[in-house]
Amino acid sequence: MTFRYEGAAEDTIDIADLTLEAGLSVAVVGATGAGKSTLVKLLARFYRPASGTIRLDGVDIGHYDLAGYRQRIGIVPQEAHLFEGDIAENIRYGRPDASDAEVTAAARAVGATAAIARLPGGFRHAVRQAGGNLSASERQLVALARVALVEPDVLLLDEATAMLDSGTEAAVLDGMFRAARDKTALLVAHRLTTAARCDRVLVMDAGKPVEYGTHDELLARQGAYARLWESARPQAPSRQEVGSGV
C-alpha cells in the first residue's frame, strides 16, 4: 500500500505487507515525519491509498459503507477538534442520542471526570471555537471520552505529548490506555515509555515499517527500536529531561 501527498517527491507511506493482530494495542513509533499520523489518517479513510489496499477483517476498508466504517473506527487525532457548544455536546458528537449518564460514564471510562469537574460548569462548560479556552490535555480528554462513548472496534490514537505539560500528560496517557483496553488499538507514541506499555510496537522510518514485534523482542534485536531507546536515554540525571525526551 502506498500513499503520497500531492507535490511530494517520494511516497509518504510505502508498506509492502503488514498485518496487525486484532484485539492488541500497537504502538507506532518513529522519527518526526516518518508517516505515523499519515498512516492513522489512511486507516481512518481521511485519505485513499494510491496503490494497494488496507483491509479490516479481510475486507478492503474502501468497500465498507463510510458511515458504518466511521462507527467502527474511533480516532483521536494529534490535535483533537472541538466545536462551539458545551463539554457534554462535544463528547456526544458521535452519538447525539446518548443520555447524560452515558456521557458521564464515557468521561469516567477514560479518566476525564476530574479534569471536567475542575472547569466552571463542568459538563456544561462552554467550549469556545476550536476549544481555544481549554488546555491541550483537556481537549485530548474530551476527544477520548468522545471515542469511548461510541465504543468502536478499532481505536486510532495520536499521542500528541508535545503539547502537554508533564503534570496532565499522565492523565491523558492513562485515558488512552483505558480506552484501548480489550480493543484493537493503534497508538502513535511520541514517548517510548508509552510504546513499552503496548502489546506490540511498529517502527516506521521514512514511510516504511522497519520493525514489528513486542517491546522486549525489538530491544533484543538491537535494531532501529533499540537505537531509538538508546538515543532517548537521558544524558544527565535530570528527570525533567527524561520527561521531555522519552
Ligand X SMILES: Nc1ncnc2c1ncn2[C@@H]1O[C@H](COP(=O)(O)OP(=O)(O)OP(=O)(O)O)[C@@H](O)[C@H]1O
Residues 15-34 within binding reach of ligand X (CB under 6 A): 30, 32-34
Least Å from the CB of residue 160 to ligand X: 8
Least Å from the CB of residue 63 to ligand X: 25
1, 14, 15, 37: which one binds ligand X (CB under 6 A): 37
Mask: binding to ligand X, 58-97, rule CB under 6 A, as x and -?
--------------------x-------------------
Chain positions contacting Mg ion, by CB under 5 A: 36-37
Q: Does 10 engage in binding with ligand X (CB under 6 A)?
A: no
**CA gap 154, 148 in Å, rounded:** 11
Task: Kindly tell me which of 99 and 231 has the beta carbon lying closer to ligand X.
Answer: 231
Least Å from the CB of residue 104 to ligand X: 32
Query: What does the binding site for ligand X look like in residue numbers (CB under 6 A)?
Result: 5, 8, 12, 30, 32-38, 78
